[in-house]
């Protein structure tokens, strides 16, 4: 087989729609959790040259990411030549670990990564790791205008300001951004910019 489409359980609904649009059978990655917290995922699929993996790493990003890395290594060991990852929510995109995650994916065997609306998009970094950022801004603007009257948009933080600015240009309304400082994992401080 030339290409196989695989999804983790976190992305089943999206993967099902992609499967339908591409006219491809969808395979679900099965994993098992042991009592000590270790996970095991196998590569039970037929041989293929290209594997497309649709995987949202949310809500348990650490376990989902490890599951994906183990799966990629198994796929490469089974002779898969090209792996494309579609990751709607890209983990650690707002942190200093972003480049480390890209490095791990690249060196594990992922050839191309597609994601949506990165917080801190870096063209050079993305080019170095074959990361393709897709903006949903126009589609969001169309949906908003079709169903709501909007007078003002608010960017929840500096990282989303460029997205909200582009959205405000599409819907022709003003916007402002909040300046958010994370105090710790549960507390933030916000002021108007």
pTM of the model: 0.82
Helices marked H in the chain: 12-22, 61-77, 98-108, 123-128, 137-147, 161-171
CATH of domain 3-134: 3.40.50.2020
CB-side exposure of 18: number of CA atoms within 13 Å?
A: 18
Radius of gyration of the chain (CA): 19
Cα dihedral: 106, 109, 133, 98 (round 10): -40
Higher pLDDT, 40 or 13: 13
Confidence of residue 109 (pLDDT cuts 50, 70, 90): very high
| pLDDT at residue 87, rounded to an integer | 93
Higher pLDDT, 122 or 139: 139
Does residue 59 have a cis bond before it (omega within 30 degrees)?
Answer: yes
CATH 3.40.50.2020 segments of the chain: 3-134, 137-192
To the question of domain 137-192 being in CATH 3.40.50.300, the answer is: no
Confidence of residue 97 (pLDDT cuts 50, 70, 90): confident
Whether residue 192 has pLDDT greater than 70: no
Q: How distant, in Å, are the alpha carbons of 14, 80, 127 from that of 51?
A: 17, 7, 21
């Amino acid at each position: 087989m030339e290409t196989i489409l695989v999804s983790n359980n976190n992305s089943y609904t999206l993967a099902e729609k992609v499967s339908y649009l591409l006219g491809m059978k969808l395979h679900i990655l099965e994993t098992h959790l042991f009592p000590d917290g270790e996970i095991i995922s196998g590569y039970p699929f037929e041989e293929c040259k290209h594997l497309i993996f649709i995987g949202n790493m949310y809500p348990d990003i650490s376990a989902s990411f490890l599951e994906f890395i183990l799966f990629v290594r198994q796929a490469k060991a089974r002779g898969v030549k090209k792996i494309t990852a579609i990751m709607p929510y890209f983990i650690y995109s707002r942190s200093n670990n972003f480049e480390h995650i890209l490095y791990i994916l690249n060196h594990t065997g992922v050839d191309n990564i597609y994601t949506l609306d990165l917080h801190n998009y870096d063209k050079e970094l993305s080019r170095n790791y074959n990361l393709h950022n897709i903006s949903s801004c126009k589609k969001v603007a169309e949906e908003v205008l079709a169903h709501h009257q909007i007078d003002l948009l608010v960017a929840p933080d500096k990282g989303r300001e460029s997205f909200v600015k582009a959205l405000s240009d599409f819907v022709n309304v003003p916007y402002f951004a909040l300046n958010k400082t994370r105090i710790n994992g549960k507390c933030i401080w916000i002021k108007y910019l």
